[in-house]
Amino acid sequence: MQAFKHNFTVTEEFIDVNKHVNNIVYLKWMQDIAIMHSNACGWTTQRYHKNHCTWVAKTHYIDYVKPAFLGEIIEARTWVEEIKRCSALRKYVFTNNKGETVVKAETNWVFINTITGKVLSVLAQVRHDFETFTCVEYV
């Protein structure tokens, strides 16, 4: 099994007063790559809404291992490690040009009904379309 991958280029807009990627940028990148991965699995925003469901973030954990700097290409990898009845644990690893881990992170996503706003059991088709696995690189 392989994680879903996407590269982000560190541009001026991502740099903070400390001259490295601002911490909040990683949260945005986590959301962006989660959406890209979902799209690649066939679950676009439109498909979720057609089925009256969506994911909302319940918790985030981010371990800032080392800084990333202007001009670097950051490879982001994400995968769904576990799907429970009404939630899923998604993990992320960001590495720099040298292959060094700069950030490890995870999000606990909760599945909800878009009409009622209440927690919903994850649809069988969603479970089927997302492979779950443990990535040894994360440990």
- How many CB atoms are closer than 10 A to CB 39? 14
pLDDT of 138 reads: 56
Task: For residues 130 and 139, give the distance between their C-alpha atoms in angstroms, rounded to a whole number.
Answer: 21
Are the C-beta atoms of residues 108 and 94 closer than 8 Å to each other? no
Predicted TM-score of the model (pTM): 0.93
pLDDT of 139 reads: 52
Task: For residues 78 and 81, give the distance between their C-alpha atoms in angstroms, rounded to a whole number.
Answer: 9
Domain boundaries, the chain: 4-129
Residue 56 CA, distance from chain mean position: 12
pLDDT in tens for each of the 139 residues of the chain? Answer: 689 999 999 999 999 999 999 999 999 999 999 999 999 999 999 999 999 999 999 999 999 999 999 999 999 999 999 999 999 999 999 999 999 999 999 999 999 999 999 999 999 999 999 988 776 565 5
pLDDT of 137 reads: 61
pLDDT of 136 reads: 57
So what CATH class is 4-129?
alpha beta
